[in-house]
Amino acid sequence: MEDTRIRHRHADIAGHRLMYREAGRPDAPTALVLLHGFPSSSQMFRDLMEPMAATGVRVLAPDLPGFGLSSLPAPDTEYGFTWLADVVEAWLAALGVEDRILFLHDFGAAVGYHLATRSPETVRGLVVQNGNAHEDGLGEQWDASRAYWADPTEENRGKIDTWMTYEGTRHQYLWGMPDRLAELVPPETWELDWRAISRDHGLDLQWKLFTDYRSHVARFGEIRDYHREHRPEALIIWGVHDPFFNLDEVPAFRRSLPHAESHLLDAGHYLLETHSRECADLMRPFVSRIAG
């Protein structure tokens, strides 16, 4: 029987210590690359990796620098999504990964779409789980953020800085969730996240990254063109209780990727905390077919 257990490893990439999880065949021709969002890490995939490894693919999940157990970049680093994509790209090259399926969640979508648009020939498919790539998903709850991106003053930052706190980190998991689902989310998720992002100068880096999210929004047209020109196989899995990205994002994906398969789950932004089995059941045939 093939060993699908998760292995916990580190890599030195351009002077940065990158922690990552790996499962499945290291010699598999296709890798499933799982890219987490804010404020999480590869631990969000802990219940998904073994079922995916059982499909025969190599499963890889990094802690992006500044998150989880990966090192903190220096304070003067040009810390943004282009920089994070450069690190992930170098890491995948060091592991010998060419063909890949990208799992895009939250900020991980901003990283992953850099990889996809740079080398579309390497992307066998996309799994998008509450990862935004269209204006449709950014409702009025983003108005204060848009004002801050346009004019990043202390005054505008003060209107949105309540989420870059311990309570704000907890909020990421529970906001918008009915009690019957919220009580399923293990509290160590936000405890570990807050410990990781608040160490040393970590919060300053996180503000840099959030400010740079405007660059991802500015790329929505480029991402739409990538979808239409390259038509990647796509599976959209969406938690309907997501308070950050509107449900209108799902039909927006279907407009630029009309062949995409989409599923709505009775879950929140971090749906793997409550619906990992359902997600695995949806992904298994998709990954098996794409990896061939």
The pLDDT tens digits of the residues spanning 76-92 come to: 999 999 999 999 999 99
Which of 101, 58, 106 is closest to 84 using CA atoms?
Answer: 106
Strands (E), the chain: 7-13, 16-24, 31-35, 58-62, 100-104, 123-129, 233-239, 261-265
Buried b or exposed e, range 204-219, using 16+ CB within 10 angstroms = ebbbbbbbbbbebbeb
**For residue 3, what pLDDT is reported?**
87
In DSSP terms, 239 is beta-bridged to 265
Does the pLDDT value for residue 146 go beyond 90? yes
Contact indicator for 107, 129 with CB cutoff of 8 Å: no
Q: Which DSSP category does 73 fall into?
A: P
Q: Which residues contact 106 (CB under 8 A, 6 or more apart)?
A: 36, 37, 38, 40, 130, 131, 132, 244, 269
**For residue 14, what pLDDT is reported?**
87
More confident residue, 113 or 159: 113
Residue entry with tokens 């003053």: 153
Q: Which residues contact 116 (CB under 8 A, 6 or more apart)?
A: 102, 123, 126, 226, 232
Tokens of residue 272, six digits: 């793997």
Contact indicator for 36, 66 with CB cutoff of 8 Å: no
Does the pLDDT value for residue 1 go beyond 70? no
Calculate the CA dihedral of residues 74, 79, 83, 85 and round it to 10 degrees: 110
Mean pLDDT (the chain, rounded): 96
The pLDDT tens digits of the residues spanning 45-70 come to: 999 999 999 999 999 999 999 999 99
Number of other CB atoms surrounding residue 180 within 10 Å: 9
Contact indicator for 63, 70 with CB cutoff of 8 Å: yes
The pLDDT tens digits of the residues spanning 224-266 come to: 999 999 999 999 999 999 999 999 999 999 999 999 999 999 9
Contact indicator for 61, 20 with CB cutoff of 8 Å: yes
Could you tell me whether strands 58-62 and 100-104 are parallel, antiparallel, or unpaired per DSSP bridges?
A: unpaired
The pLDDT tens digits of the residues spanning 183-234 come to: 999 999 999 999 999 999 999 999 999 999 999 999 999 999 999 999 999 9
Residue entry with tokens 């980190």: 169
Q: What is the CATH number of domain 7-291?
A: 3.40.50.1820
Number of other CB atoms surrounding residue 6 within 10 Å: 17
If pLDDT is split at 50, 70 and 90, which confidence band does 161 have?
A: confident
The whole-model pTM stands at 0.97
Does the pLDDT value for residue 100 go beyond 90? yes
Which of 92, 37, 104, 29 is closest to 60 using CA atoms?
Answer: 92
If pLDDT is split at 50, 70 and 90, which confidence band does 2 have?
A: confident
If pLDDT is split at 50, 70 and 90, which confidence band does 5 have?
A: very high
Angstrom distance (rounded) from CA 207 to CA 243: 20
